[in-house]
Amino acid sequence: MSDLMPLEEALDRLLSRIPLPSATEEVPLGEALGRVLAEPVSAATDVPPADNSSMDGYALAGRDFRPGEPMPISQRIAAGCAPEPLRAGTAARIFTGAEIPPGADAVVMQEQAEAEGGQVRILAEIKPGQNIRSRGQDMAAGTPLLEAGVMLRPQTLGVLASTGIERVRVYRRPSVALLSTGDELVQPGQALGPGQIYDANRFLLTGLLQQAGVVDIRPMHVPDAAEPTAQALREAARADLILSSGGVSVGEEDHVKAQVEALGELNIWRIRVKPGKPFAAGRVGDTPFIGLPGNPASSLVTFCLLALPALHRLQGRQVQPPWQLQLPAGFSREQPQTRDEFLRVRVENGRLLPQGNQSSGVLSNTLEASGLARVPAETSVAEGQLLTFMPFSSLCG
């Protein structure tokens, strides 16, 4: 099994051959969710743009304050209003989010004050600056906020909006040709004939691609024959990436590998990963090609570990390793494997438990599994031993 490529080497090799996007476009903030920034962004304004109150209460100047003595209320400042300078010896009625009037340096919350007949008595000690959110305390204008390669999440959009940014420059979205190979495949909705199965991978992989931010997905079905495979690959090479499932193993019905070699090159084939050994990658013409094994669990695992980082790079996104937590095994296994194994597991009482049948043809156990646990090659597992756990929420997003 020494001819199998270790996962990390395959990932490095794969990523080194994925081009960054060449084109960018400007989009309004409201359409930017999930897009990848193509240039750095700095704060356009101070946030908040002016000192403002964090409480409903009374704004005053600390030097005018006499404990227990009434002060005249000289103005009322609601959020959204422009305050007048505070008259000496007076307080201003103020509300959360309203601008602090020039001359005031503290806000007393109304629970610590008594107002009557246009006057207010402050019942507590005050500290200069209390209950004031100062101008620029969140961000000062010009503060670098984001680098190119960052994917825009809802909170990122909120931050950009708070500083008044209306449009962002993002990378153009890549297109992906998605090939399901195999004579046995039919689409859900059709009756199954002898020897046929439903094409689970088209939906599994379409979902994973959509979740990864790909919009232009071009699904194709490819029969197990050399010329139709070549034709499909040529057509697929018009997309920015070709992602296929099946047809990469060693049988003479597996045509994908040979046809990729004929139309371009294959630079990864067979990795030290279970499930997913026959994973292949290369190019068709100049278009990157990623060939996932046909077994659905093998497709899922190799998509998460290899295709997703490649897609991130293709989108211009910084490639980050998935979350990796060390959790104790809730099982033991004496028989070591020759490949690094990625078990579909659930977490119960903080322990990792393999979920159901781990055959690479079984996908239904992912309904209850919450992620993958890695068992290194040539290693047995003792109960309580720490294993690396990667939640699906981080692996597939």
Ligand X SMILES: Nc1nc2c(c(=O)[nH]1)N[C@H]1C(S)=C(S)[C@@H](COP(=O)(O)OP(=O)(O)OC[C@H]3O[C@@H](n4cnc5c(N)ncnc54)[C@H](O)[C@@H]3O)O[C@H]1N2
| Residue 316 interacts with ligand X (CB under 6 A): yes or no | no
Parallel, antiparallel or unpaired: strands 273-274 and 340-348:
parallel
217: exposed, middle or buried (Cβ count in 10 Å: 0-12, 13-18, 19+): middle
Among 21, 34, 136, 247, binds ligand X (CB under 6 A): 247
Picked from ligand X, ligand MOO, none, the partner binding residue 248 (CB below 5 to 8 A depending on kind) is ligand X
The encoded tokens of residue 309 equal 């980082």
| Residue 225 interacts with ligand X (CB under 6 A): yes or no | no
| Residue 185 interacts with ligand X (CB under 6 A): yes or no | yes
User: Going edge to edge, which strands form the sheet with 241-245?
Assistant: 216-222, 175-181, 241-245, 287-292, 280-284, 264-269
The encoded tokens of residue 386 equal 């720490």
Q: Rg of the chain's alpha carbons, rounded to an integer?
A: 30
- Least distance to ligand MOO from the beta carbon of 369, Å? 16
- Least distance to ligand X from the beta carbon of 293, Å? 4
- Whichever of 149 and 246 has its CB closer to ligand X, that residue is 246
| Residue 254 interacts with ligand X (CB under 6 A): yes or no | yes
| Residue 288 interacts with ligand X (CB under 6 A): yes or no | no
Positions touching ligand MOO (CB under 6 A) are 274-277, 293, 295, 298, 360
Select from 311, 288, 295 the least CA-distant residue to 248: 295
Q: Give the DSSP H/E element, type plus range, for residue 120.
A: strand 119-122
- Segment lying near ligand X (by CB under 6 A), choices 14-22, 93-101, 194-202, 307-315: 194-202
Site string for ligand X, 261-280 (x = CB under 6 A): --------------x-xx--
For residue 276, give every residue at least 6 positions away whose Cβ sits within 8 Å of its Cβ, in sequence order, or none: 292, 293, 298, 301, 302, 305, 342, 360
- Least distance to ligand MOO from the beta carbon of 361, Å? 7
- Whichever of 161 and 197 has its CB closer to ligand X, that residue is 197
| Residue 282 interacts with ligand X (CB under 6 A): yes or no | no
Among 294, 316, 330, 354, binds ligand X (CB under 6 A): 294
Picked from ligand MOO, ligand X, none, the partner binding residue 91 (CB below 5 to 8 A depending on kind) is none
| Residue 365 interacts with ligand X (CB under 6 A): yes or no | no
Rounded CA-CA distance 59/280 in Å is 68
- Least distance to ligand MOO from the beta carbon of 135, Å? 58
For residue 52, give every residue at least 6 positions away whose Cβ sits within 8 Å of its Cβ, in sequence order, or none: 79, 97, 98, 99, 100, 132, 133
- Whichever of 5 and 353 has its CB closer to ligand X, that residue is 5
Among 360, 365, 366, 388, binds ligand X (CB under 6 A): 360
- Least distance to ligand X from the beta carbon of 371, Å? 20
| Residue 315 interacts with ligand X (CB under 6 A): yes or no | no
Give strand pairing partners of 218.
177
The answer to whether the CB of 291 falls within 8 A of the CB of 320 is no
Instruction: Give the chain's end-to-end CA distance (angstroms, integer).
Output: 32
Q: Which residues bind ligand X (CB under 6 A)?
A: 180-182, 184-185, 197, 199-202, 245-250, 254, 275, 277-278, 293-296, 298, 360-361
